[in-house]
Structure 1
Amino acid sequence: MRLLGVLGGMGWSATAEYYRRLNEGVDARLGGLHGARVLIHSVDFQPVDDAENAGDWDGMARILVEGAQSLQAGGADGILLAANTMHAVADQISEALDVPFFNIAEATARSVGESRQRTVGLVATATTMAHDFYTRPFQERGIEVILPLEEERPEVDRMIYEELVHGIIKDTSRKAFRQVMQGMADRGAEGIVLAGTEIGLLLEEDDSPVPLHDTTTIHVEQALDWMLADD
């Protein structure tokens, strides 16, 4: 089994979910007492968030490249970044490594393409919704991406950063997400991409009027396929 490096801490609840799902996946595939070979570098999220809010992408990249390189130095055979928004600097991270880097946006766009859906809704942080680093892989595959209404986006961002990142689950937030997803479905979305690694902690398939694409699940499955592949 290959050793996977997980660059996490953005926030810790998502990193814990990655660790749980990776181990459950290995257990399901191999049985016995097998567990995932995982090396985790968990960053202090505050400086990363400060850089994001300042639009300091170089500053964010420096922190994350350092973390990714420490995983490589520790023996990781491949690396994933356990956060959607921070893929704004995915290219810089990938270019700084000599091992494979698993891009969550690319993996999700490929998975959506395989579902044959041509229009999907995207719920994510304000940064992810405001830039094309996440939607570009979808557009390259001819998939249209619908965003929440302009007036809905600040509340979606708030629920992610003030609640889900801290592991806080509220029924009122679940109801708010349901309304946002229903609105996107009404505007033509055939599926909804949960482009926040913590959103899957709050929502289940029954919460959406159309199929959900949980990016954490997709990312983990890609990593498991690679970790357990025959050389």
Structure 2
Amino acid sequence: MQTIGLVGGMSWESSAAYYEALNQGVEERVGGLSSAKTVMTSVDFAEVTALQEQERWDDVAEILAGAARGVEAAGADFLLLCTTTFHRVADQVAGAVDIPLLHLADVVADACKAERLDSVGFLGTTFAMSRSFFTDRVADHGLTVHVPDEKHHEMLNRVIYDELVHGKVLDTSRRAVVELIDELWDAGAGGVILGCTELELLVHQADADIPVFPCTTLHVAAALDRALA
């Protein structure tokens, strides 16, 4: 089994979800007392979020690259960034280490293509929806990507940052997000990418009428495929 490197802390709820899912996955696939071989470095979410808001991406990249180098030095065979928004600096992080980075956008796009989709919706933070660093990489796989109208971005950001990162899962917010999924469906999306780990706490396949692609679940599955190959 290979050792999976994790750069986490964005948020700690997200990191906990990755750690739990990786270990549950190994238990299911291998059985017995088996658990995942992991190395995790957790950064300060407040610090990197403040730098993001100031558009100080070189500073964000330096922090995450440093964390990645620490994970590599601790023996990781490959690397995951436990975040969607901070994939904005994924290329810089990948360039700072000698181990492969398993890019989330590539994993999710492959899953959408496996379902024979050519058009998907994307839900995430305001930053991830309003900038194209993630959706462009998904589109590079031949997919058309739809995002909600800008008037809905503040609501999604509030649900993520004021509720989900603190472990609050509210039915009213679930209904609001499901309504957005329906709007994306009307716009032509054949499925929807939950482009924020915390959204997986809120919305599940049973809530939607189109295929839901949970980023963390797919990222974890791809990591386990690699680690256990």
**Paired residue for 1:207?**
207
Percent identical among aligned pairs is 39
Number of residue pairs matched?
229
Alpha-carbon separation, structure 2, partners of 1:5 and 1:138: 23
**Paired residue for 1:51?**
51
Q: Is the 8 A contact 1:117 1:190 kept in 2?
A: yes
Partner SS state of residue 6, structure 1? strand
Gaps of 5+ in 1: none
Q: How does 1:1-231 map to 2 (within 5 A)?
A: 1-229=1-229
Alpha-carbon separation, structure 2, partners of 1:98 and 1:142: 29
Q: Is the 8 A contact 1:12 1:166 kept in 2?
A: no
1:87: Cα distance to partner? 0.1
Alpha-carbon separation, structure 2, partners of 1:130 and 1:59: 21
Q: Deviations over 1:25-75 (max 9, x none)?
A: 101110010000111111111110001111111111011011111101111
Q: Deviations over 1:177-209 (max 9, x none)?
A: 011111111111110000001111111112112
TM-score, normalised via structure 1 length: 0.97
Alpha-carbon separation, structure 1, partners of 2:76 and 2:41: 11
TM-score, normalised via structure 2 length: 0.98
Alpha-carbon separation, structure 2, partners of 1:185 and 1:8: 32
Alpha-carbon separation, structure 2, partners of 1:179 and 1:51: 32
What is the RMSD computed on CA atoms of the aligned residues? Answer: 0.9
1:141: Cα distance to partner? 2.1
Alpha-carbon separation, structure 2, partners of 1:61 and 1:137: 18
Once superposed, which parts of structure 1, at least 4 consecutive aligned residues long, lie more than 3 Å away?
none
Q: Which deviates more from structure 2 when the two are superposed, residues 69-78 or residues 81-90?
A: 69-78
1:7: Cα distance to partner? 0.5
Alpha-carbon separation, structure 1, partners of 2:30 and 2:55: 43
